Homo-oligomer: A and B are copies of this chain.
Amino acid sequence: MAANDNTVNIRAPKGGYHHGDLRVALIATGLKKLEESSAESLSLREIAREIGVSATAIYRHFPDRDSLLSALAAEGLAQLAREQKAAGKAGGKEGFTEMGRAYVRFAMNNPALFRLIYSSLPAAADLNCVNPEDSPGWLLRQSIANLAGPKASDAQRKAGVLRAWALVHGLAMLILSGQIAPKDIDQLINEVVSVDSLKLG
């Protein structure tokens, strides 16, 4: 059971049991592979080969392929959250816009990982339930909370969050699928993702 869930293995960080820290190595190598190819084409055997371990060793740490992918997605989500937090540090309008920029930029810099996070894997949907404060939606909500005027209703804020999230997510996805030429991303975001369009009241 400890090997079946997607939490970061507790005893792993100590390092070194039987033949090295395979779980961590699997995730690290998996993430590396995702930098160069899609999640679909990611092969367990290839990862095992690269680590220098037998093809079936992985099953001591993940019950199946999808579990590894979920772990990779969780890692990616955490990274995205970190970058979003850092970008939004300034707070206010500026911080909010920077968060959106960070979101799109993360997608462009890690297309396969970003796609994996928002794949149709049922586990992917549960990711932000596991760690709600790492959900982009949550971060946006916080950032919007002290951005909206006090007269804004809860419904307005909620709609604002959804609008903002959908906007940056759609922008990211359309860029990744080649529908939008990513000529000048910063300018693009400036044009498209203006705070005013969120109608926060």
Q: Do A166 and B165 touch across chains, with their CB atoms under 8 A apart?
A: no
Residue from B125, B155, B178, B194 within 8 A of A177 (CB atoms): B125
Segment from A6-14, A88-96, A111-119 that makes contact with B: A111-119
Assuming the contacts A192-B159, A199-B196, asked whether A124 and B177 have C-beta atoms less than 8 A apart, the reply is yes
Residue from B159, B165, B180 within 8 A of A170 (CB atoms): B165
Residue from B163, B178, B180 within 8 A of A167 (CB atoms): B163
Question: Can you tell how many copies of this chain the complex includes?
Answer: 2
Residue of B with least CB distance to A162: B192
**Which residues of B have CB within 8 Å of A180?**
162
Q: Do A191 and B162 touch across chains, with their CB atoms under 8 A apart?
A: yes
Q: Do B166 and A119 touch across chains, with their CB atoms under 8 A apart?
A: no
**Which residues of B have CB within 8 Å of A177?**
118-120, 124-125
Q: Quick check: is A179 within 8 A (CB to CB) of the other chain?
A: yes
**Which residues of B have CB within 8 Å of A119?**
177
Assuming the contacts A120-B115, A179-B118, A179-B128, asked whether A192 and B163 have C-beta atoms less than 8 A apart, the reply is yes
**Which residues of B have CB within 8 Å of A168?**
166, 170
Give residues 152-201 of A contacting B (CB, 8 Å): 155, 159, 162-163, 165-174, 176-180, 188, 191-192, 194, 196-199
Distance in Å: Cβ of A66 to nearest Cβ of chain B: 11
Residue from B120, B125, B178 within 8 A of A125 (CB atoms): B178
Assuming the contacts A192-B159, A197-B198, A199-B194, asked whether A120 and B176 have C-beta atoms less than 8 A apart, the reply is yes
Q: Quick check: is A38 within 8 A (CB to CB) of the other chain?
A: yes
Q: Quick check: is A40 within 8 A (CB to CB) of the other chain?
A: yes
**Which residues of B have CB within 8 Å of A198?**
197
Task: Determine the distance from Cα of A199 to Cα of B194 in the docked complex, in whole angstroms.
Answer: 10
Q: Do B169 and A173 touch across chains, with their CB atoms under 8 A apart?
A: yes
Q: Do A125 and B171 touch across chains, with their CB atoms under 8 A apart?
A: no
